[in-house]
Chains A and B, each alone.
Chain A
Amino acid sequence: MIEVKNLVKRYGNHIAVDNLSFTVNKGQILGFLGPNGAGKTTTMNIITGYLSATEGTVTVNGLDVFEEPEEVKRMIGYLPEFPPLYPDMTVLEYLNFVADIKKVKKSEKKSMISEIMELTKIAPMSGRLIKHLSKGYKQRVGLAQALMGYPELIILDEPTVGLDPKQIIEIRELIKEFSKNHTVILSSHIMQEVSAVCDSVLIIDKGKKILSDKPENLSMHFGATGSVRLTVKGERDKIIGALSSIERVKSINEQEGFETGTVTVTVSCDENDDIREDVFYALSREGTPILEMRPLRMSLEDIFLKVTQDDEAVPDAGSASDIDEASDLEASSDSSLDNAEGKGEE
């Protein structure tokens, strides 16, 4: 469907996109992930024909963006970072205008506009001036604009920025719905978003591709740490003693507990090992009940942070068994806790 080959974009001496190549197949949702200034927006602008590339090619359905821009633009719906809205128009006027410039047939126009307004839930706002809408509604009108004409390829630059959590979930549902018949590329710097919606993830940093894979594979490859976090009720020495008696345990790291009379520890073993059963039996023999046990896996967010912070591209998850790293991990996986729950709900 879309093929990007050796894309380079230079601004003077600054390289915004550096030799980027990827392909997206029909019906796929590609998540574009990277910190701010990684070159996500630039790449999207190039694909949509808003900017030119210094080197490289972009083809959509076999048509080159640089050679046949009009044809390619017909196949693309684009929601830029700042939704391109005319504040002095009403929502309906705006969508009418968009339908016209996207060359939607007159006979289909009216039904398409009302359909899209239903989809994006902006129908009640159709008579309002865009400048009076809230940020969330503006974003939805922008999304409606991108969907107009039902283009084969929909490109969304940070589509859920400025929306409240409920709206975010709605928009994600909408994007998933659309991917049944359309190809979607969306960018984000929020990991959970990408893992919730996308079939494949492309992480870029400083204009370079760092890795691309399916979101579930990412956490499988880099996710296992072999560590378990425990909250156990009982005396500290007894518990630590019991845990140290397990042979496969490599390190025990105590954390501050929240409840009185309990001990919170992180127990590490080899990366591919599973010590949960042993831990259970060891502690039950001592008569110290386990209140909580949770295997520590690197969330996508951790992978993302790791991958984009390291200058060496390939991350080494094995090093997570290190005590220092383990506690770092701890801190960041706490923040991703909520995300994990969010994922569960969907």
Chain B
Amino acid sequence: MLAIYKKELRSYFTSMIGYVFIAFFLVIIGVYFYFQNLYTGYANFEYTVTNVTFIFVLLIPLLTMRLMAEENKQKTDQLLLTSPVTPTAIVLGKFLAVFTIFGVVMAIICTYPLIMKQYGNVPLAPAYASIFGFTILGGAYLSMGFFLSSLTESQVVAAVVSFIVFLFTALMDGIAGFFPADNKTAYVVFSVILVIICIILYIMMRNLTISICAGLVGELGLTAAYLLKPTLFDGLIVKVFGWVSVIDRFNNFYMGILDLAGIIYYISIIFLFLFLTVQVIRKKRWS
């Protein structure tokens, strides 16, 4: 694991991506820090942090796109998978490497509230709570990007798909607001989502029977639930979309609350997608 960690970390700094990521991230945060805190004189660093969550959508794909896609393309996955290293070790090594680069940015940011503290009273607790939340939010995005990268051989595809997915999670709240809250719409929307999932399933597994069966079972369940207890679907769209909306959870941290549910939520996402990545690598053997 350590060998993979070191190799991955080094490759970020031989291919410029590491420098570009850190520099760009710091520039954007720096600009916001200047206008929000230094120029207008607010002592709350959490405002800056909250305002820059959008850069995850832009920058994380840059960092994660090559993680597995490049190995798949260069066939170096063959070296890794025929060496005495477990897929779990490969995934953990790579994730920790990419998280370290992100961690460099976070470590630098941690000094900003201290800089402000030199010139007045700064509420440090909410500032650091928000930085902590920001870090694990970034971890969740990294993990998702890593997973998407493991599905393809092309870095460009990995980056574009990650970008779209991240954008979707960021806009989820807004999208949910467009739908009427009645149970009939919810039923229809979930049926459509089920069909989309089945299509993705088919594309990934190329097995018509399994995807159709999954679709039928899901649809049957949905219909049964809808007929037996329609109230279950009231406002469900907003609930579910909010639940998937990764950024939404961040609001508590921004208010200075160290929200345990949020922490668990982000860490679960990290582990869920790392687990899925391990499965994708394992599955390669069975293809």
> Is the pair A84, B79 in contact by a Cβ cutoff of 8 Å?
yes
> Is the pair B285, A52 in contact by a Cβ cutoff of 8 Å?
yes
A82 at the interface (CB under 8 A from B): yes
> Is the pair A100, B3 in contact by a Cβ cutoff of 8 Å?
yes
Using an 8 Å CB-CB cutoff, how does the interface string of A24-64 with B read, 1 for contact, 0 for none? 00000000000000000000010011111000000000000
Contacts of B6 in A (CB 8 A): 97, 100
> Is the pair B82, A86 in contact by a Cβ cutoff of 8 Å?
no
B91 at the interface (CB under 8 A from A): no
Closest to A54 in B: B286
Q: Determine the distance from Cα of A51 to Cα of B3 in the docked complex, in whole angstroms.
A: 23
Closest to B86 in A: A70
B231 at the interface (CB under 8 A from A): no
A76 at the interface (CB under 8 A from B): yes
Using an 8 Å CB-CB cutoff, how does the interface string of B14-38 with A read, 1 for contact, 0 for none? 1100000000000000000000000
Given contacts A49-B81, A86-B11, A101 and B4 within 8 Å (CB-CB)? yes
Contacts of B286 in A (CB 8 A): 52
> Is the pair A97, B78 in contact by a Cβ cutoff of 8 Å?
no
Q: Determine the distance from Cα of A252 to Cα of B11 in the docked complex, in whole angstroms.
A: 69
> Is the pair A97, B74 in contact by a Cβ cutoff of 8 Å?
no
> Is the pair B82, A50 in contact by a Cβ cutoff of 8 Å?
yes
A78 at the interface (CB under 8 A from B): yes
> Is the pair A85, B76 in contact by a Cβ cutoff of 8 Å?
yes
Report the interface size for chain B: residues with CB under 8 A from the other chain. Answer: 25
A180 at the interface (CB under 8 A from B): no
Contacts of A132 in B (CB 8 A): none
A102 at the interface (CB under 8 A from B): yes
A87 at the interface (CB under 8 A from B): yes
Given contacts A49-B81, A73-B82, A86 and B74 within 8 Å (CB-CB)? yes
Given contacts A50-B81, A52-B286, A145-B79, A101 and B74 within 8 Å (CB-CB)? no
- Chain A positions 82-107 with a Cβ under 8 Å from a chain B Cβ: 82, 84-89, 93, 97-98, 100-103
B121 at the interface (CB under 8 A from A): no
Q: Which one of B3, B76, B78, B84 contacts A50 once the chains associate, using CB atoms below 8 Å?
A: B78
> Is the pair A73, B84 in contact by a Cβ cutoff of 8 Å?
yes
Closest to B10 in A: A93
Closest to A78 in B: B82
Q: Which one of A49, A51, A84 contacts B75 once the chains associate, using CB atoms below 8 Å?
A: A84
Given contacts A70-B86, A85-B74, A86-B74, A101 and B11 within 8 Å (CB-CB)? no
Contacts of A101 in B (CB 8 A): 3-4, 79-80, 83-85
Q: Which one of B4, B14, B84, B86 contacts A74 once the chains associate, using CB atoms below 8 Å?
A: B84
Which among A45, A50, A51, A89 has the greatest number of chain B C-beta atoms within 10 A? Answer: A50
B2 at the interface (CB under 8 A from A): yes
Contacts of B86 in A (CB 8 A): 70
Q: Which one of B2, B15, B84 contacts A102 once the chains associate, using CB atoms below 8 Å?
A: B84
Given contacts A50-B285, A52-B285, A88-B15, A102 and B83 within 8 Å (CB-CB)? yes
Contacts of A71 in B (CB 8 A): 84
A315 at the interface (CB under 8 A from B): no
A136 at the interface (CB under 8 A from B): no
**In the complex, what's the smallest C-beta–C-beta distance from B6 to chain A, in angstroms?**
8
Nearest 4 pairs of A and B residues by beta carbon:
A100-B3, A84-B79, A84-B76, A74-B84
Interface residues of B (CB under 8 A from A): 2-4, 6-7, 10-11, 14-15, 74-86, 285-287
